[in-house]
Structure 1
Amino acid sequence: MVRILFRHGFGYLVNQLGLGHLVPFHWGLLGHPRRARPYTQAEHLLLAFEELGATFIKLGQILSTRSDLLPPDFITELSKLQDAVPPEPIALIEAQIAQELGGPARALFASFDSDPLGSASIGQVHAATLVTGEEVVVKVQRPGVAQLVEADLAVLMDFARLAQARTVWGQIYDLPGMVEEFAWTLRAELDYIREGRNAERIGRNFTQEPSIQVPTIYWKYTTRRVLTMERIGGIKINDIPALEAAGIDRHELAVTGVRIVLKMVLEDGFFHADPHPGNFLVKPGPSIGLLDYGLIGVLDERTRQNLLYLFLAVVDQDIDGVIDRLSALGIVGTASQFERLRRDTEHLISLYWGLPLKEVDVQGMLAEFLATARRHRLTVPSHLALTSKTLSMHEGLARQLDPGFNAADVLGPYARELALRTYLPQYWVRRVLPAMRDLSQLAVTLPRRADRLLGQVERGNVSISVRVQETEHVLDSLNRMVNRLILGILAGAFTIGIALLLQIYRAAGIERVVRWLLGAGFAAVGALGAWLIYAIFRRGHH
């Protein structure tokens, strides 16, 4: 890995990490393919990731979603990464199937095509027919790929820790945390049972939507390393001549695709995050068949609501609303960083000020917000970056279908309709019921917990640690405060006592002189109270 990075022009990085001694001198000069135009640094990174293999191709694809971390030229180059490699020999694939499903492919399936439909770094896909007659595709994981991925992840983690310890940029970003998050994502892609469940969940979310087709999963023929699903036919979404020949309305198809992703992101909070053209097959209607559920984005309800209002703020060109929602979405930074972000956002929105909605490039604005966050070194949550990339890719597909398409035409009305639903009674019932359950549980458990706490206090098992600065000054102030508090309590007690005695003596017909003495005492207590009030106000002014 070090040698590959060095050969592709990243020797400065290798040296910063203190690993230059691992690279012979000639590796920096030889073995590099020549061309008339020099390679850019971004192109070198693309070539290095392709050469490093499966794990780094996946890493590059994830990094291509992080416009908050990388400059635009790197994002553009990494977006070109294609996870396509020569297929494994059919004998190894059949051995993997036999090990996972408990029998040879020729016995388990009525037919099994030995030539794959597609081959990627983690697995490859074969057409097959079940003994019951259903046409399916069988996705088989390459033997040994899980062990290779774990080894690569260990190397990546070592690099991340070195960068964090030895470089300035490594200290700005939580690189080990990013590698851990990437490792979780990649391990999830290696689990085909999880992928099958992802498909079923998206299918349930669209049971009332004829515009999307999700393949059926055949669990009898599915394990962590083999996935068998319904074979979906259709036209590749970016095959414009074939779509025209089939009489499919491209504008309607573009609108359908954008509405599908908006529903997944803003309503379901569970979205397909790998929207390249090969994963969308179109049938007349139009309906879209969705393939490959390995990479999924998940958003909680609060994030979805903040995203919804962020989109509305962008469409309405509300600068303060945009900044407030970006902060609520978890973009972390100092007050000065946010102030600079606000100025840049104001400039960006001013470019669109007064334009018709159809001329507002919503996804372009969101991408620019993330790039601005990168310039100001604001921390952007990875799920937000993935969401932005997914939406941008969907808009890109829509514009391939219809060059005049603008997402704002769909996003604005959709977001406003969705926002109006938050005022409906059923929405509030759904929100309030969990809160009521929490309150009822708290009402039951609070007395018990308070009793346990008081018991620990009585037994001396609770200690309170107080850190005091300028101790003498604080103690002096505390002493005066306590003295006044005691005087106030005594004055109050005397006042109540004298008032009660006056009532008693009046009722008993006691001599006037006694009542006069009690009245004098009452006046004295009143004077003491007045002095306390004066002292407190005088102290407050100082």
Structure 2
Amino acid sequence: MTSVHRERADPKARAGDHRARYRRILRFAAWHLVVTWWFELFLPRIGLVRISERTRAKRMRRFAQRFHVLAVSLGGLMIKVGQFLSSRLDVLPPEITKELEGLQDEVPPVPFAAIRTLAETELGAPLERLFASIEETPIAAASLGQAHRAKLRPDDAAATGLESVVIKVQRPGIDAIVDVDLAALRKVGGWLSHIRLVSDRADMRALVEEFAQTSLEEIDYLNEGANAERFGVDFAHDGRVDVPGVVWEQSTRRVLTLEDVTAIKITDAKALLAAGIDPVEVAPVFASVMFDQLFTTGFFHADPHPGNIFVTPSTDPSAEHPWKLTFIDFGMMGEIPPSTRSGLRKLLIAAASRDGKGLVAAIRNVGVLVPSADTVELERAMTHLFARFGGMGFAELREVDPREFREFAVEFGDVVRSLPFQFPENFLLIIRAMSLTSGVCSSLDDRFNLWDSVEPYAAQLLREERGNILQDAAQQALDAAGMALGLPKRLDGLLTRLEDGSLAVANPRLERQLGRLERTARRSASALLFGALLISGSVVRADDMVLGNVLMIASVLPLLHGLWAGRSGL
């Protein structure tokens, strides 16, 4: 019996499955929060930092393996969470990203009988009456739906100008699964929002809601069809980009019929070379097209992984471009407001010119830093970063001594963690899009240097913004005048501090906060353990009352320790 039939026949069983799914996600999250606290906070606190460091790679790999199993087993949004983690090459260790790479394609297909039932219900007629033929074996199976090749009937082909199409059908029951997954993610986000180290950096509830909105839009295929057409309009006059047409007459919220544009997968180097296309030449074009979306049109493909981009050789020998980049799957799209896009353009220009101070100012303008953040140390770290590693490609970076990377990462990480970061709307999608873009380009050319694509694009942006040069010059003159007027007072203060010996070479805020941090750390560690044990016990208790009660009782010990530590630090 198919899953659709089972759900219709036994709603109580369906509800029980959903409860079990919800609890399984929470148990996984609670357990790994406890493990992370134990190794990353508690052991270093009692002088066992070497144990934490020695076991970190193994623990990260084990976590990724277990999450991989969980995601494949559950499907739904857990696959999407894993895909996001696998794309975060910039912040997550390779032990995690490498293990989760397979989640881009590794999803078991739904039997065609269940797909047929859903599609015919949505379209209101047997598939044989709507299509000349349809392949029962899917060409792609994703976490939310799967795709089958088909051919339109002659009259429909004549009306649309299309013959070969792809029918994209949602997985049966995916609406309810998405609701369960979002409820679990909201619960985990609530837990994380009570951890100060996390809540000081990001509004976890807001991030989960942003993910929820994106996910709900992704399972609305009418929305995806509209996105495809809008994207096509943005690049209608760009010979480098192609977009599939939409057959609206045979599309609904759960079924989408598109032009079949299947071609060479963008990372299939052998197929590209066989078609006379050099992969090295594809990388900068792809990067430039993604830059156009992020910095010019403001409407961008937020899921540009290799399975969603084809390289299509041109059949017209007189075409301006011998091949095109064909984008598919427009369910996950991002839109950048003009104000944020302006800040991103300034950020790109500052990065291309290796301007550490300008880059930090652009980051603040984008809204990633709260206005009150003290950025002096961040500016210094960025300047150091550009001076040492700026302009290097991935192949060159691999030749740098790993110890130098570690030393800089420790210093830079301390600076970043000390600042109050926040995430504006759609910023996670921007990060995802750029992370995937960088990964695809590096797979096409291991010596690909992002700066080679950034610099000419930044120069183009500068030319476009020359109309504002007088305004910028006037603003710089005002800034210079303000600095000149305030200089005598600042010099007088500096001399006074030199005379009384109060001038510190290190960050003066750091010295004042060390004692407070020492006291807070003791209370935070105990409070975190108390919360982790209490939450874990409440989650586990539903399935194992004895173990759950033990964990909840044990949470009293760190609570008492936290109260004692707080008093002793006063």
Shared topology, TM-score over 0.5? yes
Question: Aligned AA for 1:269?
Answer: G
1: CA distance between counterparts of 2:185 and 2:439?
32
The answer for the alignment partner of 2:188 in structure 1 is 159
Q: How far 1:389 sits from its partner (Å)?
A: 3.1
1:391 to 2:434 alignment: yes
1:182 to 2:219 alignment: no
Q: How far 1:163 sits from its partner (Å)?
A: 4.0
Structure 1 residue runs without a partner (length 5+):
17-36, 429-542
Give the 3 Å change call, closer, same or farther, for CA 297–6 of structure 1 in structure 2: same
Give the 3 Å change call, closer, same or farther, for CA 414–358 of structure 1 in structure 2: farther
2: CA distance between counterparts of 1:103 and 1:141?
17
C-alpha contact (below 8 Å) 1:358/1:408 kept by paired residues:
no
Give the 3 Å change call, closer, same or farther, for CA 122–412 of structure 1 in structure 2: same
The answer for the alignment partner of 2:298 in structure 1 is 269
Q: How far 1:115 sits from its partner (Å)?
A: 1.2
Give the 3 Å change call, closer, same or farther, for CA 217–123 of structure 1 in structure 2: same
1:316 to 341, 353, 359: 353
2:328 to 284, 291, 298: 291
Question: Aligned AA for 2:339?
Answer: R
Query: Which whole-Å deviations, capped at 9, do the CAs of 1:175-216 have from their partners, x for residues lacking one?
Result: 222221111010000000111111111100111112111000
Give the 3 Å change call, closer, same or farther, for CA 414–371 of structure 1 in structure 2: farther
Q: How far 1:384 sits from its partner (Å)?
A: 2.9
The answer for the alignment partner of 2:424 in structure 1 is 381
Query: Which whole-Å deviations, capped at 9, do the CAs of 1:296-352 have from their partners, x for residues lacking one?
Result: 121122222211121111111111100100000111347565333223222212214
2: CA distance between counterparts of 1:115 and 1:358?
39
Q: Which one is further off, 294-303 or 186-195?
A: 294-303
1: CA distance between counterparts of 2:91 and 2:422?
9
1:58 to 75, 80, 89: 80
1:168 to 196, 200, 207: 196
C-alpha contact (below 8 Å) 1:109/1:131 kept by paired residues:
yes
Give the 3 Å change call, closer, same or farther, for CA 392–181 of structure 1 in structure 2: closer
Give the 3 Å change call, closer, same or farther, for CA 396–61 of structure 1 in structure 2: closer
The answer for the alignment partner of 1:338 in structure 2 is 375
Question: Aligned AA for 1:262?
Answer: F
Partner SS, residue 285 of structure 2? helix
Give the 3 Å change call, closer, same or farther, for CA 419–385 of structure 1 in structure 2: farther
Question: Aligned AA for 2:348?
Answer: F
2: CA distance between counterparts of 1:15 and 1:304?
37
2: CA distance between counterparts of 1:374 and 1:81?
30
C-alpha contact (below 8 Å) 1:273/1:297 kept by paired residues:
yes
Give the 3 Å change call, closer, same or farther, for CA 384–372 of structure 1 in structure 2: farther
2:342 to 299, 305, 311: 305
Q: How many residues align?
A: 400
The answer for the alignment partner of 1:416 in structure 2 is 459
1:99 to 2:121 alignment: yes
Question: Aligned AA for 2:438?
Answer: E
Query: Which whole-Å deviations, capped at 9, do the CAs of 1:88-147 have from their partners, x for residues lacking one?
Result: 222221111111111011110011111111112211101011113411000001121101
The answer for the alignment partner of 1:130 in structure 2 is 152
Partner SS, residue 287 of structure 1? strand
2: CA distance between counterparts of 1:69 and 1:358?
16
1:328 to 361, 365, 375: 365
Partner SS, residue 198 of structure 1? helix
Q: How far 1:360 sits from its partner (Å)?
A: 9.5
The answer for the alignment partner of 1:515 in structure 2 is none
Partner SS, residue 448 of structure 2? coil
Partner SS, residue 254 of structure 1? helix
Give the 3 Å change call, closer, same or farther, for CA 231–288 of structure 1 in structure 2: same
C-alpha contact (below 8 Å) 2:311/2:324 kept by paired residues:
yes
2: CA distance between counterparts of 1:184 and 1:40?
30
Q: Percent identity?
A: 36
C-alpha contact (below 8 Å) 1:61/1:79 kept by paired residues:
yes
Give the 3 Å change call, closer, same or farther, for CA 160–51 of structure 1 in structure 2: same
Partner SS, residue 351 of structure 1? helix
Question: Aligned AA for 2:82?
Answer: G
Partner SS, residue 266 of structure 1? helix
1:402 to 2:430 alignment: no
The answer for the alignment partner of 1:81 in structure 2 is 103
1: CA distance between counterparts of 2:339 and 2:81?
28
Question: How do 1:461-500 and structure 2 match up within 5 A?
Answer: none
Which protein has greater RCO, CA pairs closer than 8 Å, 6+ apart? Answer: 2
Q: Larger Rg: 1 or 2?
A: 1
Partner SS, residue 107 of structure 2? coil
Q: Which one is further off, 152-161 or 257-266?
A: 152-161
C-alpha contact (below 8 Å) 2:343/2:362 kept by paired residues:
yes
2: CA distance between counterparts of 1:154 and 1:196?
27
Give the 3 Å change call, closer, same or farther, for CA 71–375 of structure 1 in structure 2: farther
Partner SS, residue 104 of structure 2? coil
Give the 3 Å change call, closer, same or farther, for CA 64–375 of structure 1 in structure 2: farther
Partner SS, residue 247 of structure 1? coil
C-alpha contact (below 8 Å) 2:229/2:245 kept by paired residues:
yes
Give the 3 Å change call, closer, same or farther, for CA 43–143 of structure 1 in structure 2: closer
2: CA distance between counterparts of 1:402 and 1:263?
21
Question: Aligned AA for 1:403?
Answer: D
Q: Which one is further off, 85-94 or 368-377?
A: 368-377
Q: Which one is further off, 339-348 or 211-220?
A: 339-348
Q: Which one is further off, 74-83 or 234-243?
A: 74-83
Normalization by structure 2: what TM-score?
A: 0.63
C-alpha contact (below 8 Å) 2:394/2:446 kept by paired residues:
no
C-alpha contact (below 8 Å) 1:277/1:397 kept by paired residues:
yes
Q: How far 1:266 sits from its partner (Å)?
A: 1.0
Give the 3 Å change call, closer, same or farther, for CA 289–149 of structure 1 in structure 2: same
Partner SS, residue 208 of structure 2? helix
2: CA distance between counterparts of 1:349 and 1:193?
45
The answer for the alignment partner of 1:10 in structure 2 is 31
Query: Which whole-Å deviations, capped at 9, do the CAs of 1:392-446 have from their partners, x for residues lacking one?
Result: 3223322322333222222211221123123359xx9xxxxxxxxxxxxxxxxxx
Give the 3 Å change call, closer, same or farther, for CA 127–310 of structure 1 in structure 2: same
Q: How far 1:289 sits from its partner (Å)?
A: 1.3
1:229 to 2:294 alignment: no
Question: Aligned AA for 1:412?
Answer: E
The answer for the alignment partner of 1:448 in structure 2 is none
Partner SS, residue 140 of structure 1? strand
2: CA distance between counterparts of 1:142 and 1:359?
41
Question: How do 1:336-375 and structure 2 match up within 5 A?
Answer: 338-352=375-389, 373=416
The answer for the alignment partner of 2:248 in structure 1 is 219
Normalization by structure 1: what TM-score?
A: 0.66
2: CA distance between counterparts of 1:142 and 1:358?
39
Question: Aligned AA for 2:460?
Answer: E
Partner SS, residue 243 of structure 1? helix
